[in-house]
Every structure is written in C-alpha cells, then in structure tokens.
Amino acid sequence: MGIADLLAGVSGRGDFGVWLGGLDGHAVFTHDADRAHYSASTMKLPVAMAMMRKVEAAELALDQPVTVHNDFASAADGRFGVNSAEDEAPATWAKLGEQVPLGWLATEMITKSSNLATDLVLELTGVDAANAVLAEYGSGASVIRRGIDDVGAQAAKISNLMSPADLAAVLVAVGNDKSASGEYVRDLLAGNTWNGEIPAGVPEGTRVEHKNGWDLRIRHDGGIVRPPDAEPFVLVVCTTSDLADQDAQKLIAAIAAEAWDHRHDLEAVQ
C-alpha cells in the first residue's frame, strides 16, 4: 500500500498534508503540502533556530541564567500563563522560581516539548525573530505570531500556522547547516523523546531528527530520517482530523514506513 493509498483510506476525515523528499529540497511526493494547519509544537523548531542565531550574534548565551516563571506578555493584550495541566514536561515546572541555563530550556523545549520552556525561550528570542526564520525558508503561508497557551491571542484569532512544505523547507535548511549551531539543533531534534510518529515507522535505532506537535484534532511530525544504508530524506506529515489520536499517529508511522521501504529509490514512492 502506497502513501496515496494510505491517504485515500482517510479521505473525508479531515485535512492531511505530506511532503517527502531529499535534503536537496526536491520533493518526490506531496499531498496538500501547501495547506497550513495549526502548528502546535512544530513551531518550536523555528524558535530554537532563532535562539541559535542570537547565540551566534552574542545576543544570547546557552549558559546564561534564566529565571523560570509563568507570566508572559500576550500577543493580543495583557498577560497569560501556560496551562500546567496540558504541559506534559514536568521538569521545567519543578524549576519555577529558580534559575536554569538557556540551553537547558532549549533541550526541554525540543526533547520534551515543554510549553513553559518554549515560552521562556521565545520571550528571549522574540516572536518576530522566530517568525523571521520561518519566513526566510517558507512560502509565507506559515507564521509564528504568539506563544503557547496565549488564550487572549487565541480569542483574537492570532494563531501559529505551519504547512508541510514550509516545515520541510526549514528541516532542509537545518539538515544542510554545517555550522556548530546547525549541529546543535540537529542533536536537539535527534533527542526528541516523543517518538510515536515518524520514528515508529522506521527501524529502531535509526537517527530521526524530528519535531512533532499535537493538540485537539491535531497530530503532526516532521523530520530528517538518516538510514545507515541510504541518503537522508525529509518527511513531514500534518493532520487535522477527526481521527482518534492513536490512529493519526499510526497513519504518520505508516507513511514513514512507506518512505523507508523506498529509501534506495525515493522517486518510486506512490
């Protein structure tokens, strides 16, 4: 069963987007790849990249202390805090009121997908800097406008959006970045501990540099897969649907398995 067949099996259940190709940026399979979805935690990758740009410019330092707090300026008006009940990364919350290194927060943001750590990093980088990274590589359909759990901004319909094609373009940029910053971000992605999507569809132990995201009706994953016996490939799958969350994860894993099976001849994917 090819990727097109897998997508046909969920036709009418929601919006599904796929981008598959090489680190040269050439797509071999796409399906609604330009349609933007709510980004969920996939926006944390451009945030990490914006942070590293500021580290390179000596505006930030990975070892600088940051006081962990839960009070942020809204993109709409007023202040907001992250909902701890919806943040599945408890280590950051255990540090409330304490100082931790910026690099530690970045690790929590990517490897644990901590929402609180994300907003702390984003507060230092600035939304504009994170959005500029996405805009540089993307089509303009994807944007970062606010932090996680900014309920005032949500009410004002200020949202973060991501298309499969734009996330793929960001991943291609990361995959081709030969600098120390590029290596740092790739290692963060490879350390992701939430591995129920793309990594579940490839052999255990395969290096997958990926960032996923999930919310109500949302399940996304995008990453660079590095087979030991073939060239790396980039896969992004975004789903906004009425599928049960486990079924959405299984769909992404099945698409990854198809890509893996064609890793020696990616152009043959159907």
Reported as a single tens digit per residue, the pLDDT across 182-231 is 999 999 999 999 999 999 999 999 999 999 999 999 999 999 999 999 99
Q: Among the three residues 135, 161, 187, which one is the final residue of a domain in this structure?
A: 161
Confidence of residue 132 (pLDDT cuts 50, 70, 90): very high
Residues 270 and 204 in one domain: yes
Q: Among the three residues 127, 161, 195, which one is the final residue of a domain in this structure?
A: 161
Rounded mean pLDDT of the chain? 98
Q: Among the three residues 141, 161, 181, which one is the final residue of a domain in this structure?
A: 161
Residues 147 and 64 in one domain: yes
pLDDT in tens, 46-90: 999 999 999 999 999 999 999 999 999 999 999 999 999 999 999
User: Angle 102-111/180-190 helices, nearest 10 degrees?
Assistant: 50
CA distances from 103 to 23, 43, 238 (A): 27, 18, 28
pLDDT for 36 equals 98
Residues 150 and 59 in one domain: yes
Residues 143 and 52 in one domain: yes
CATH of the domain at 62: 3.40.710.10
Residues 141 and 105 in one domain: yes
Q: Dig out the tokens for 169 from the structure.
A: 């373009």
Cβ atoms of 120 and 82 closer than 8 Å? no
pLDDT in tens, 232-268: 999 999 999 999 999 999 999 999 999 999 999 999 9
CA distances from 61 to 23, 46, 115, 174, 180 (A): 29, 17, 21, 20, 14
User: Angle 102-111/44-56 helices, nearest 10 degrees?
Assistant: 160
Residues 91 and 134 in one domain: yes
Residues 201 and 99 in one domain: no
Question: What's the mean pLDDT in 91-109?
Answer: 98
pLDDT for 195 equals 98
pLDDT for 81 equals 98
Instruction: Please calculate the CA angle 67-215-71 and round it to the nearest 5 degrees.
Output: 25
Above 90 in pLDDT, residue 1? no
Rounded CA separation 123/84 (Å): 18
pLDDT for 151 equals 96
Residue 261 sits in which domain range? 1-35+163-270
Residues 7 and 58 in one domain: no
Residues 192 and 207 in one domain: yes
Residues 196 and 243 in one domain: yes
Above 90 in pLDDT, residue 37? yes
Per the DSSP assignment, residues forming a β-bridge with 112 are none
Cβ atoms of 168 and 220 closer than 8 Å? no
Confidence of residue 17 (pLDDT cuts 50, 70, 90): very high
Residues 53 and 156 in one domain: yes
The count of domains in the chain is 2
Residues 9 and 45 in one domain: no
Per the DSSP assignment, residues forming a β-bridge with 211 are 222
